[in-house]
Amino acid sequence: MVDVKEVPADLLLNKLASEFKEKNVEIPDWVNYLKDGIGKERAWVQDDWYYTRLASIMRKVYLNTNIGISRLSQEYGSRQDRGTKRYHPVQGSRFIIRNILQSLEALGYLKKDTKTGRSLTPAGQSMLDKAAKEVMKSLAEKDKVFEKYL
């Protein structure tokens, strides 16, 4: 059985992002204008960053069950340039994370619990497991070393 932890994260995120694109997940209008957080100077350069962030947050919820918006904003935080002073850690945009979590809940991949935070539904977990298995199969076709994980 292939686990999400055993698959390279970049390949898994690309696979999940392409699945979100195929499902025609609705992207809000403000996506092109916001930056990722206080520590960033510019908005996103990639056109499909929203799909990648959807996949990344879904993977983070899988790895860290019962996680909330505040913890995720720390995960996606950066360093703030304060001129001649030392860099200071800042949180990522909670608005973007909240909106992505709400859209994943609307798709049926996450569920919200007021006491413990958000966790994956069985549909979300099966989507991640299927994507991990497909990524591992493609890796096993290229290199025989990965066949032991199937």
- pLDDT tens-digit series, residues 9-62: 999 999 999 999 998 888 888 888 777 776 676 776 778 889 999 999 999 999
Which pLDDT score, from 0 to 100, does residue 28 have? 87
Distance in angstroms (rounded) separating the CA atoms of residues 14 and 85: 37
**Is the entire prediction scored with pTM above 0.95?**
no
Q: Per-residue pLDDT averaged across 59-68, rounded?
A: 90
Q: Is the pLDDT of residue 2 over 90?
A: no
Q: Which residues contact 29 (CB under 8 A, 6 or more apart)?
A: none
Q: Is the pLDDT of residue 77 over 90?
A: no
Which pLDDT score, from 0 to 100, does residue 129 have? 93
Assign 118 to helix, strand or coil: strand
Q: How far is CA 28 from CA 14, 35, 103, 122, in A?
A: 20, 14, 10, 26
Choice among 55-59, 77-81, 98-102 with the minimum mean pLDDT:
77-81
